[in-house]
Amino acid sequence: MILTLAPETNGQVAVKAWAALSEFTGRDHTHLALNKEDEKIRFRDIQAQPRKIISSPTWSGLEDEHVSYNAGYTNVHELIPWRTLSGRQSLYQDHQWMRDFGESLLVYRPPIDTRSVESGDG
């Protein structure tokens, strides 16, 4: 059942997940999973042979034949905000145990409005 609900193993769910992220960023990201929309990975499939998962917005890397997986790929190439307080890459950590030791940067940066950022083309 879990494999049916996960975007990494169900192409239709992956396309819906990328579409939901597209609503948030104002950019179309569905192309990252459209070619695998009809793919479903079932338990018996991975018992028989390991499979590559379908790219999902849960991860910041991309599962693709043309790109080796690396963290942050979609943040850079798809202009998806980083999963930080500000939406930017940052060194600030707000973990309570770090703050208990007095370690944190008191810098406020508002989230980036990705709809106002021009594409990097050209």
Q: Are residues 15 and 71 in the same domain?
A: yes
Q: Are residues 62 and 99 in the same domain?
A: no
CA distance 9 to 36: 10
Q: Are residues 70 and 108 in the same domain?
A: no
Which residue segment(s) compose the domain that 56 sits in? Answer: 1-80
| DSSP 3-state of 104 | coil
Q: Are residues 13 and 61 in the same domain?
A: yes
Number of compact structural domains in the chain: 2
Collect the ranges in the chain with pLDDT lower than 70: 85-86, 89-94, 98, 102-112, 114, 116-122
pLDDT at 83: 82
pLDDT tens string 109-119: 566 676 766 66
pLDDT at 68: 85
Helices and strands: H and E segment counts in the chain: 5, 0
Q: Are residues 109 and 71 in the same domain?
A: no
pLDDT at 99: 74
